[in-house]
Each structure stands twice: as structure tokens, then as C-alpha cells.
Amino acid sequence: MTTFAEPAPPRRARLTLTPGELPGHAAELLDQGFRLALVGGHDDRPAGGGLRVVHLFTDPTTDTRTELHVPLDPATPHVPSLAALSFPAGRFERETRDLFGIVPDGHPLPRRLVRHFHWPRGWYPMRSDAGPPSAFGDVDGPYPFRTVDGAGVYEIPVGPVHAGMIGPGHFRFSVVGETVLKLKARLWFVHRGIEKHVEGRAPADALPIAERISGDTTVGHALAFCQAVEEATGALVGADARVVRAVLLELERLHNHAADIGALCNDVGHGILNAHALRVREQLLRVNDRVSGHRLLRGAVVLGGTATVRLPDPAELAGIAADVAEIVDLALGHSVVRDRFAGTAALTQQQAADLGTLGYVARASGLTADARFDHPTVAGLPRHPSRVDARGDVLARFLIRAEEFADSVAMISALVARPAAAAADHDQPQPARGTASGVGIVEGWRGTIVHRVELGPEGTVRRLKVVDPSFLNWPALPVALTGSIVPDFPLVNKSFNLSYAGNDL
Amino acid sequence: MNPLGVAGGVLQAVVIVGGAPLVVGLMRQIRARLEGRAGAGVAQPWRDLRKQLRKQPASPRGTSEIYRSAPVLLVATTLVVAVVAPFVTTASALPAVADLFVVVALLALGTVMIALAGIDTGTAFGGMGASREVTILALVEPTVLVAIFALSVRAGSTNLSAIVGSVLDDPARLVSPASLLAAVALVVVIVAETGRLPVDNPATHLELTMVHEAMVLEYAGPDLALVELGSAMRLSVYLGLLANLFVPWGVATGPGVAALAVGVAAFAVKVTLLAAALALAEVFLAKLRLFRVPELLAGSFLLALLSVTTAYVLV
């Protein structure tokens, strides 16, 4: 009988800094290979404090999580901008400014990001004294799109309402002939106030909300939230439950990747493969239903464990994987489909790294970021070296999904075959109770999801900050698209398949 | 103007207007079944037309008469072709109009009107679709002219009825290189002209990839019904021309109710079979990158040119 050494608990470090000290520490961490995983604003005034910014850095090689806390004076909340050090930092700072009014000094692009055009000026929805959403008031002033000059350049505005069943987003193409010179995506049309909504709730009441952040990432967000709360409360999660959670996470990856593989074929007009991919997806949803009682796995992850009926049958999944492999072979064997995929909208490895991309977008461009291995919760998962030629084009993003589908099925088979652990022996050691803050890092099907939770003394959620991979991946889409042609945009967009809901909380 | 021509012309118009939406419905149904879907049924395009015709007319603010007249002109020009070209009978109501150049020009006129209407809306999609459509049109029209011209060499006339009649007189010429090359060239341009795969995807909802649909996005209600009817009729007219130029048997050459009935039945069978073959082929096709479309059309023009050359050389 094989036994698996449990992964060591993540190492946590926490520093409280003055605003002036922040850039030096951040630069040092980034130089050591840390990734800026999350920046969250905090309003501690109800607890007798001021405003505060928390920067969470994670190290993929040692699973170290370092938090830099910067308390701020509520009267003049200013922090020095880190945008020159890290592109994601600049995005997080704009978000924090829009929601908390915390101003990043020296930001190269101090424009609104998540603020809706019609929010009243000076209204910061995440502050404790923000009150209920006020009526749309004074608009924030004009925010024109940058116009591209030149002979024959014209603009194509698309959205925010689209023909398909997707979220709202406005795309402004500057085009000459059919070639895209510049694309500007403007999102954040439906701020739902999710982070505000969970404040003051008991974690068990907040979980159903976290689970619904993005409809296709039920397990990813629920698990990240549970991990964060469990770390904050010091709750132990048995080895068996962690194995089942890993299985659920892969099941979610399977049905989403199957749908994407079909949708990519459909977007080049090869509908027959989409029909088959949708058939496969339906089989997977039925597997989900048998495993958890819900086709999209809602309610399967609970605080401290899981609530599943049974484990999936590896033989059935192997049959489905064979079907998917055949669909992929048929797609790649079709010369027109291959021609449409290959070389379209390449994102170079350098670009992917600079933008801080995650998930299959990053892996298709040759990066290795994967929280399943960088921040493990289950021991003994073999990291497959990617077999995909990392050119960062649509073909690479198609192939990486196909590869991950096969790997996920293999992973589920290995996990399901594990003997039940003698519960107490394999419990993952947890930090001592009472830190009252916790971080959950999960490789959702789109990429790394990070939740950071702070609990109040009575055990309710005082602050939840959520980072969906789409927040970091959206800027990669216009970069990859530059130089492509307009009719290829829907295909390129589908190859990224970014979430509007996960991006706009 | 002979009585047979008039009767045939009326009959052709009725058959094509009534049958064209059914042909579209049949193609969608075949595709649905081959993809494992139930499909909406062959009559669904007619149900859609009925629904749209009952709606209130609406046109975007700022559009001119071009926008409002384009759907009518599209249907009208196609209807003229449906009346005069040899589909059910070779006796044409207006023999002078059943000419290769007139027919091609009439069909092009409808396309140009819709392209102008697309530009008239002032939207980015309309202009984008019009630009793509005209690019394709510029490559398609010479091919159609040259390909049919190759067939007219033997007949010694550019009158379509005469061409069809001459094939009936001498079927052996159908297997000539000129005829076969012209047939392949025509199939490619018909696919392009009617907005089918691999040039355009009639089933997509993605505006940025559209060609034909992008131009007519703003149409609604009865105007949209006319545009869709016109598009369906063009498909049937093109398929009918292809059928009768290369497989003319069954077409009525003399008077008589029986001959006309046979003509209608033969025409319906031929168009149905061609449409079914097209729908079948589409299942295995994917949409070409837009910039590859000119390569495909240039190839078909080359075939048409070779067809004319061989028609003169290999007499």
C-alpha cells in the first residue's frame, strides 16, 4: 500500500509597513520570484482602526505566502504605486482606489478601472460608511477611448450587450482594413458587490455566495473560500476530504474544457465537433450529478470537508477521455481548422509573464504556474511536463486544454484509487488557531483563484477579497490580438474564455 | 412572347418563391440531423417569414430610401431571373432577358443593393459586411460570367435557354473538359455568392465574423422577411441554374400540361438533391480564414478561364 507524505503546510509571513517602506519590500519579494497574488483594501474604522492595504505575495517554489500590511490614515489614504515593479500591481491599485478611495501615488495610468461610469463622484462602495448603492449621480467625467489616427483607420464598437449568452463587455476595435491595430476592452458593467455582501455573515452563510461568484467555477471559488476560512479558524481537514476536493476540482475542469474544445471548433464553423463536445459535456454533467447531486457541483465543497454522494467511476471517465481525444484528433486533422488555430493571436512567453497571466493562458505560452503543484493540498500528484509546443497561439490554447483533459482524468483515477486514510494519521498540520485571517489558493479550471479572508472576533467574515484568474488574464487578450484580423476575434476570445463575472465582483 | 413561356414563367416564379425557403429549411434540417440534433423542421423558414411579416416595420433613424428599397429590389431582381431563366421550361417569357449577361447582372444588382443598404445604416457592422461582400462579389462575378460563357461557346449564343437546349441536343459535350471545369468553378462561386461554408457561416451569431448577415443586421420585421426570402430565392436560383446547365433533362421544351408538370418535378428533384449534397458537404467543412477566401475564388476563376480556353481549343 502506497502512503503519501502529506504536503507541508504553507509558510506564512506577515509584515506591517509604513507606506514608504512598501516599494522596497515588494521589489525584494518580486526579485526572489514571488508573485503578487492579491491586493486588498480594508476599512478597519468600525474596529477602531483606519484604512489598510494588504499585499499578498506567494512563492511557487516554497509555498511561502508573505503579506505586507500597510495601515493608512483615512484622511489622506495614499500609497506609493508599485505599477513600475509589476503590471498586476497597477491593476490592483486602480481597483483598490475605485472601491476604497486609496490613492496610488505615481501611478502611470491613474484611470478608473472597476468604477461604473455613473457611480456618484467620491462614492467608494467598499468603505464601511458607503451606505446602500446610491442613485446614479454625477458622472465621473469623460473617459474617451484613445483614437488611432491614420488613413483608413476606423472603429468598430461591440457590446456591452452581445449576441451570445455571455457577460457584458464593451470592445472597441481600431481597425485598418481587417487588421486590428488596437483593441480596448472595457468591462465592469455589473458590479454585484459580492465582497461587501459577505461582510458580517458567518462563513457557512457566506459560502453559498462565494460558490456563485462565477457560475462555471463553482468548486474553484467554493474551495478557495473554504481553505481561507479553515486557515483562519485553524480547522483541520482530513486527508480523505482533501482527496475528494481535488477530485471535484478536476471534475469541474473536465466539463469546462470539453465545452471549450467544442466551442473553439464551432467558432471556425466546424459545428459537428461542437455537437459531439456538447454530448461529452452532458455526460460529464451527469457524472457530476451522480457524484454531488448537482450538475455543476454546487454544494459539494463545505467548510471542513465535502458533501458528496459517491466518487466518479474512473472507467466511465476513461471512456469520455477517449471521446475527447478523438474530437481533438479530428479537429487537428482538419486542415482548415488547423489553419485557423495555428499562429493566430500569439502571446509570447515574455508577454504572458509580464502581464502575470495564469492558468491555461499562461501554460500555453510556456509558463508553468499551476497552484495544484505550487500550493499543494494533496500529496503525490505528479506534475506532467507540458507536451504542448508553447507558442501561445490559439492552437496552443486548444492543445493545452486537450492535454489537461487527459491529465485530469488520469489524476482523478489515481486519486479515486487511493486507499482511505486512517483519518487522524494524515491530517494536514494547520497553523495555530486564532490568526483570524486565512488564504485559499486553488487552481480552478481557468487558473489560480485566491481568496483572502479576515474574520471578526465573533467569527463572522469581516473582509473577503477574491482574485479570479480572469482579472489578471483579461489584459492579455488585447495584447495577443494586436495584428490579428477582425473576423478572428471571436475565436481568439473563446481561446482565452475569460470570465466577466469572476472579473467584476 | 409565347404562351408556354408565360405559363412557364408564372410557374417558375411560384415554384421558386414557394420552394426556396423549404430548400433552406431542408439544408438546416439535414445539418441538424447529421449533427445529432432534432432540427426545427423543413418548414421552419416559412414559419419565420410569417412571423416577421406580421411584425411592425421598423428602420433605423437616419437611413435613406436605399435602405428601405434594397429588400424589395433584392426580391424583385431575383424574381425576374426566376421568371425568365430556363428552370422548368426552356421557353422564356422574355427571351432577351434570359441572357447570360443580363441574368448575372440582375443577381449582382441585388447583392450591390444590400451592400449599399449595409453602408446606409452607418453602423460599423454594416460597413464591415458590405466591404467583405463586395470583395467577394468582385471575385465571383467574373468567374460566373466566364464559366457560363465557356458553355455558350458550343451553343453559339449567350442565351441561357439556347445553352440548355444545345446540351439537350448533344449530351456528349457534358463530359468535355470545358464543361467539367466550368461546373467546378460554378459550384465554388455559388457557395461564395450564397454565403455558405467555407466562405461564410450562415449559422453564426458572431457579428465580427459575418459577411452577408453583417450587412442585414439592422433589418427587422417585413423588411427582414424580404431579405431572407430574397437570399433563399438566390440560393434556389443558383442551384437551379447549375442543375439545368449541366443536367438539363426533364426541362419542358414543348407545350403541354404534362411536360410542364414533369419540368416542375424534375426541377424540384434536382434542386433538392443539390441542396442536400451542399448541406452534407458543409458538415465536413470549416470556415476559411477571411484572407484565404480570395485564394479560393481566384482558383475558381482560373478553372473558369481554363474552361473557356479548352472550349475554343478542344473543339
Judge whether A383 and A370 are in contact, CB under 8 Å.
yes
Q: Which three cell numbers stand for residue B241?
A: 441554374
Mutate which: B287, B292, B293, vs A, most A CBs within 10 A? B287
**Does A271 contact B203 at a Cβ distance shorter than 8 Å?**
yes
Instruction: Tell me if A270 and B209 make a contact (CB, 8 A cut-off).
Output: no
Chain A residues close to B285, C-beta within 8 Å: 269-270, 336
Distance from CA of A312 to the nearest CA of B (A): 27
| Rounded mean pLDDT, A423-452 | 74
Q: Mention the CATH class of domain A194-503.
A: mainly alpha
SS3 of A384, please?
coil
Mean pLDDT confidence for B175-179: 87
B-chain residue closest to A164, CA distance: B205
Contact criterion met (CB below 8 Å) for B111 and B276: no
**CATH 3.40.50.20, applies to A11-105:** no
CB distance B217 to B284 below 8 Å: no
In tens, the pLDDT along B67-126 reads 999 999 999 999 999 999 999 988 887 888 889 899 999 999 999 999 999 999 988 899
DSSP lists the bridge partners of residue A182 as A174
Nearest chain B residue to A264 by CA: give it. Answer: B286
pLDDT computed for residue A147 by the predictor: 84
Nearest CA in chain B to A330: B284
Whether the bond between A74 and the residue before it is cis, its omega within 30 degrees of 0, is no
Q: Are A339 and A488 in contact (CB under 8 A)?
A: no
- B291 contacts A154? CB cut-off 8 A: no
User: Between the CA of residue B25 and those of B70, B87, B272, what are the distances in Å?
Assistant: 24, 21, 11
Q: What is the DSSP letter of A485?
A: B
In A, which residues are within 8 Å of B209 by CB distance? 267, 487, 490
From residue A131, how far is each of A127, A254, A336, A460, B305 by CA, in Å?
8, 41, 55, 20, 75
CA distance B51 to chain A (A): 20
Q: Is the pLDDT of residue A426 over 70?
A: no
In a 13 Å sphere around the CA of A278, the CA atoms on its Cβ side amount to 12
Using a CB-CB cut-off of 8 Å, the residues of chain B touching A334 are: 286
What pLDDT sits at residue B27? 96
Query: What's the whole-number mean pLDDT along residues A363-391?
Result: 85
Q: Distance from B28 to chain A by nearest Cα, in Å?
A: 12
Q: Which residues of B touch A (CB under 8 A)?
A: 31, 34-37, 124-125, 127-128, 197-198, 201, 203-209, 283-292
ω into A132 cis (within 30 of 0): no
3-state secondary structure of A71: strand
Which residues is A14 bridged to in the sheet?
A67
Which residues in chain A are closer than 8 Å to B36, comparing Cβ atoms?
275-276, 279
Report chain A residues whose CB lies below 8 A from the CB of B198.
Answer: 269, 336
Measured CA to CA, the distance from residue B138 to residue B149 in angstroms comes to: 17
Q: Which residue of B has its CA nearest to A341?
A: B289
pLDDT in tens, A35-81: 999 999 999 988 888 999 999 999 988 889 999 999 999 999 999 99
Least confident of A243-252, A381-390, B179-188, B264-273: A381-390
Nearest CA-CA distance, residue B288 and chain A, Å: 6
Which residues, in sequence order, are CB contacts of B280 under 8 Å at separation 6+? B30, B34
The size of the A-B interface in CB pairs under 8 A is 74
Rounded CA gap, B80 and B106, in Å? Answer: 8
A357 has pLDDT over 80: yes
A440: β partners: A451
Contacts of B212 in chain A (CB under 8 A): none
d(CA A372, CA A249): 10
Collect all residues from A whose CB is shorter than 8 A from any CB in B: 154-158, 163-164, 178, 265, 267-272, 275-276, 279, 334, 336-337, 339-340, 485-490
Q: Which of A405-409, B26-30, B167-171 has the lowest mean pLDDT?
A: B167-171
Question: How does DSSP assign B29-87, residue by residue?
Answer: HHHHHHTT-----TTHHHHHHHHHHHSPP---TT--HHHHHHHHHHHHHHHHHHHHSSS
Chain centroid to CA A339: 30
Cβ contacts of B284 on chain A, cutoff 8 Å: 272
- Grid cell digits, residue A337: 481548422
- In angstroms, rounded to a whole number, what is the distance separating the alpha carbons of residues A433 and A236? 10
Inter-chain residue contact A156 with B287, CB threshold 8 Å? no
Mutation test of the interface with chain A: which of B212, B285, B296, choosing the one with the most A Cβ atoms within 10 A? B285
Q: Is the pLDDT assigned to residue A261 strictly greater than 50?
A: yes
Q: Are A442 and A224 a contacting pair, CB within 8 Å?
A: yes
CA distances from B286 to A266, A323, A340, A399 (A): 9, 20, 9, 18
Average pLDDT over residues B222-241: 95
Determine the pLDDT at residue A6.
Answer: 75
Of the candidates B128, B198, B288, the beta carbon closest to that of A156 is on: B128
Nearest to A485 among B207, B283, B291 (CB): B291
Q: Hey, are the CB atoms on B36 and A340 less than 8 Å from each other?
A: no
Q: Do B208 and A487 touch (CB under 8 A)?
A: yes
Rounded Cα–Cα distance for residues A232 and A304 (Å): 12
**pLDDT (tens digit, 9 = 90+) per residue, A171-210?**
999 999 899 999 999 889 888 999 999 999 999 999 999 9
- The answer to whether the Cβ–Cβ distance between B284 and A272 falls below 8 Å is yes
Domain ranges of chain A: 11-105, 194-503
Residue from the list A157, A267, A336 with its beta carbon closest to the beta carbon of B288? A336
Alpha-carbon distance A272 to nearest alpha carbon in chain B (angstroms): 5
pLDDT of amino acid B255: 81
A11-105 and A194-503 agree in CATH topology: no
